[in-house]
Amino acid sequence: MDIPDWRNKIDELDEQIVQLLSKRAAAAVAIGELKAKSSAPIYEPQREQAVFEHVRRINSGPLSDAQVQDVYERLMDVMRALQRPQ
Amino acid sequence: MDIPDWRNKIDELDEQIVQLLSKRAAAAVAIGELKAKSSAPIYEPQREQAVFEHVRRINSGPLSDAQVQDVYERLMDVMRALQRPQ
């Protein structure tokens, strides 16, 4: 495979990744609504830590665990923003 | 569904997301090796721009296009690091 072939493959993977990010965001919105009803805090460091531990544990490379967590830190920032009342 | 149910759903989504990130990273490593053979530059701003445009175009919410790009900016940083010779 040459570089354009690999890039086509990456574009296909991105379509799947973005779709899963949308599903994950929809779940975060649903949690945000449940939190609002019960006046629970949006930022729950213990849950975020559990997410980081989970993704590090299931990572099989070639990204390092630190790199996967790095991506997820940004992802969690964005998800948290989504739970804040507009 | 209550909060723990949604979190189980998120954990399942994360397993799929991390698996796709691994596949994407493996493709980036393959591209990095091809670039090294042809002395092509690792940083290709035009390609990165095309990736951002692609993910913004396919995004259907509830994340904003800017939020999806935000996550992808971190992802591209990490992928670029992976292409650098160790």
pLDDT, tens digit, 9 for 90 and up, residues B8-62:
999 999 999 999 999 999 999 999 999 999 999 999 999 999 999 999 999 999 9
Confirm or reject contact between A13 and chain B (CB < 8 A): yes
| Total count of domains within chain B | 1
Q: At a CB cut-off of 8 Å and minimum separation 6, what does B80 contact? A: B42, B43
- Structural domain including B30 reads 3-83
Chain segment A13-69, per-residue pLDDT in tens: 999 999 999 999 999 999 999 999 999 999 999 999 999 999 999 999 999 999 999
CB A62 within 8 A of CB B22: yes
Which CATH number do you get for residue B79?
Answer: 1.20.59.10
Dihedral over Cα of A81, B78, B17, B48: its sign: positive
CB A42 within 8 A of CB A32: yes
Confirm or reject contact between B15 and chain A (CB < 8 A): yes
Chain segment A77-86, per-residue pLDDT in tens: 999 999 887 6
Helices and strands, number each (H, E), in chain B: 3, 0
pTM for this entry? 0.96
